[in-house]
Amino acid sequence: MLIQSQLQVFRTHFPTLVEKNTIKYPIDDRLILKMPELHGSSTLKPAPGLQSVLIDSEQFENLLYVWESFNNFSDFFQIPNFSLSEL
């Protein structure tokens, strides 16, 4: 019953986002936070925090170029694909 009443409130405030008694996703995250039970996400994960950077931007750019090259030519080099963290 709670879900149906929340759906009615949601339909009243956002009629363009409800079609045939269901919500048309994707929707803005802020709307999910207002009625998390309605959207099936009563426990949302917190946003990831900032992390310190281990290398400067120029070195990171070069690292991405090397990794992309290996992935693009992995068949030619006969090596398996690997993740950036493995590099």
CB 17 within 8 A of CB 23: yes
Domain boundaries, the chain: 2-34, 55-87
pTM of the entire structure?
A: 0.46
Q: For residue 27, what are its two tokens?
A: 């929707």
Q: What is the pLDDT of residues 40-61, one digit of tens each?
A: 776 667 778 888 878 888 898 9
Dig out the tokens for 69 from the structure: 């090259």
Confidence of residue 65 (pLDDT cuts 50, 70, 90): very high
Interval 2-17: pLDDT, tens: 678 888 888 888 889 8
In single-letter form, the type of residue at position 34 comes to: K
List C-alpha distances in Å: 60 to 5, 14, 27, 37, 72: 51, 43, 34, 41, 18
